[in-house]
């Protein structure tokens, strides 16, 4: 009887993420935000300070009073409120957002405290071109209230994650993570504030790597390659 030799899995073809942006052709960012916008502010500042070869060309919020909109306007960036309630459902609103982002020539969508789940059609239109910042070390504590989940679970270390967005919630391939200690007596607010400081740094670094063409997706793993030496499609 011949021995069954399991087929060796085909090596995963690496996928180069994004394009190598340059000073003369900065990466065009679209930011979706629902709240106060401190991550947006970190991205705006990094672009102005030329820490990343990118430019925020459009900020959209699903909340009319989002401070993120004020921050964008103060930075001279197009800031728009798009009301989900005038759409018959999620898919319609998602399609509207995608149309508006494409119309603005957005190359990378950055979710920065955007509190709506994006549907599969949106994710497909911007496949591998959507980043999100999450205030935990995924896959621990996905969803909302990650800091409360961490405190209730009693972890000693939490942190933040920048990940590619896929059809799941906080399930996309992880780009960068930063560990943050949970201290005695921490409240949800004190932990959130401590993590937030790391989020700002981590998100800018993730966008910088993306804009430098130094991120390569191999299955679920995101590899950081030296200086723009990306292979693959
Ligand atoms: N397809 C994806 N969409 C989004 C992701 C994602 O990973 N995949 N990340 C979220 C951001 N996020 C956590 O990082 C998150 C935001 C909101 C929720 C949530 O449960 N929202 C509820 C209620 C929203 C509302 O109050 O309007 C919902 O949308 O039903 C979970 C996780 C951004 N989108
Ligand atoms: N699940 C998504 C989520 O919890 N996102 C979190 O919302 C906050 C937005 O702050 P900001 O508006 O000041 O950037 C950030 O802490 C971000 O990680």
Which of the following is catalytic: 82, 96, 128, 134? 134
State pLDDT tens for residues 127-174.
999 999 999 999 999 999 999 999 999 999 999 999 999 999 999 999
Report the binding-site residues.
37-39, 90, 115-118, 132
The mean predicted confidence, pLDDT, of the chain is 95
- Helix or strand (DSSP H, E) at 124: helix 120-125
Q: How confident is the model at residue 84 (pLDDT cuts 50, 70, 90)?
A: very high
Q: How far is the CA of 111 from the centre of ligand 1 (A)?
A: 10
Number of H helices, E strands in the chain: 6, 10
Active site residue 134: yes
Buried b (16+ CB within 10 A) or exposed e, 107-141: bbbbbbbbeeebbeebbebbebbbbbbbbbbbebb
State pLDDT tens for residues 191-205.
999 999 999 999 999
Q: Name every protein residue with a CB atom under 6 angstroms from any ligand 1 atom.
A: 111, 114-118, 123, 132, 134, 143-144, 165, 167, 169-170, 172
> Cα torsion at 155, 161, 165, 166 (round to 10°)?
-40
Q: pTM score, two decimals?
A: 0.94
Q: Which of 117, 163, 195 has most ligand 1 atoms within 8 Å of its beta carbon, as the pocket-test mutant?
A: 117
Q: How confident is the model at residue 106 (pLDDT cuts 50, 70, 90)?
A: very high
């Amino acid at each position: 009887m011949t021995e069954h030799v399991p087929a060796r899995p085909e090596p995963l073809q690496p996928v180069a993420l994004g394009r190598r942006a340059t000073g003369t052709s900065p990466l065009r960012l679209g930011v979706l935000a629902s709240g106060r916008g401190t991550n947006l502010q970190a991205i705006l500042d990094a672009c102005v300070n030329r820490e990343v070869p990118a430019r925020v060309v459009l900020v959209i919020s699903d909340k009319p009073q989002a401070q993120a909109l004020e921050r964008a306007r103060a930075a001279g960036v197009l800031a728009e409120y798009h009301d989900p309630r005038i759409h018959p459902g999620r898919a319609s609103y998602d399609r509207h957002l995608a149309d508006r982002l494409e119309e603005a020539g957005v190359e990378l969508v950055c979710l920065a405290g955007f509190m709506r789940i994006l549907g599969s059609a949106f994710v497909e239109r911007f496949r591998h071109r959507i980043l999100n910042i999450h205030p935990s070390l995924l896959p621990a504590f996905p969803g909302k209230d990650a800091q409360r989940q961490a405190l209730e679970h009693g972890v000693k270390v939490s942190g933040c994650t920048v990940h590619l967005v896929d059809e799941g919630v906080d399930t996309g391939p992880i780009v960068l993570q930063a560990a943050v200690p949970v201290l005695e007596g921490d409240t949800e607010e004190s932990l959130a504030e401590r993590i937030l400081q790391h989020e700002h740094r981590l998100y800018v670094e993730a966008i910088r790597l993306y804009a430098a063409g130094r991120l390569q997706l191999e299955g679920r793993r995101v590899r950081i390659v030296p200086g723009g030496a990306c292979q693959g499609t």
